[in-house]
Amino acid sequence: MGDEPHHLGHRQRLRARFLKGGDDAVADYELLELVLFRAIPRRDVKPLAKQLLKEFGTFSGVMTAPPHRLKEIDGIGDSVVAEFKIVNAAALKLAQGQIMDRPALSSWSALLDYCQASMAYNTTEQFRILFLDRKNILIADEIQQEGTVDHTPVYPREVVKRALELGASALILVHNHPSGDPTPSQADIDMTQQIIAAARPLKIDIHDHLIIGRGEHVSFRSTGLI
């Protein structure tokens, strides 16, 4: 109990600094402390914040870590996991709001940020499709398939069928590599060509295929693969 006033004072000072200067005014471990404050009301959480960053590398890595991995850290329980998942979900909603119902090609940077936020730290491979109308406005964002660590089965007919259901004129294909290395495999290239072939007779364009790694991506369009 003796250190409680100092502990509470630290929380108040950190909150005040954050409210005055935003995320630029606090280090990553301090931003993590601010999130932990809500779940752990009566303990110094600075050592825990630093341990989490050491274990998972970045603030994003902590927020997107699987619950079972988080709970391996002493002091992390359901309440902390819930706070992290709320923060992560809110961040994704904000990022998605920057790209939905907007011209995708002119919002490319925001689109890449969204793909990184939503997929880069997944531990399994995920294949999502961004559906665009005739004006290249993004009208839908859907996860089409989820697979094992290194394989997601993608069926070109299902992709085209869904595009027709939504009235989409163009698609941007996106999937992640859980390894973190976005280098396309031959299977990635073959699958992309199969989707292009299935979509062409129906006049559905494939604008790009993005492979998302950790902090980097590969664009099939930019590298001449399509």
Q: What is the pLDDT of residue 226?
A: 83
pLDDT band at 130 (very low <50, low <70, confident <90, very high): very high
Whether 178 and 114 map to the same domain: the answer is yes
Is residue 138 located within the same domain as residue 170? yes
131 with 70, same domain: the answer is no
Residues 142-174: pLDDT tens digits? Answer: 888 776 656 667 788 889 999 999 999 999 999
Let me know whether 119 and 70 are in one domain: no
Residues 49 and 110 in one domain: no
Mean pLDDT confidence for 47-65: 90
> Best-predicted range by mean pLDDT among 19-23, 51-55, 138-142?
51-55
Sign of the C-alpha dihedral computed for residues 177, 178, 181 and 186 taken in this order: negative
Give residue 124's pLDDT band: very low, low, confident or very high (50, 70, 90): confident
Q: Is residue 166 part of a domain?
A: yes
Mean pLDDT of the 184-212 span? 92
Q: Which domain holds residue 134?
A: 101-219
Q: Are residues 8 and 58 in the same domain?
A: yes
**Confidence band for 33, pLDDT divided at 50, 70 and 90:** very high
At 174 the three-state DSSP class reads: strand
Scored b (16 or more CB within 10 A) or e, 13-50 reads ebeeebeeeeeeebebbebbbbbbbebbeeeebbebbe
Classified as helix, coil or strand, 92 is helix
What six digits make up the tokens of 106?
């002119």
Neighbours of 209 (CB within 10 A): 26
Average pLDDT, the chain: 86
Residues 200 and 131 in one domain: yes
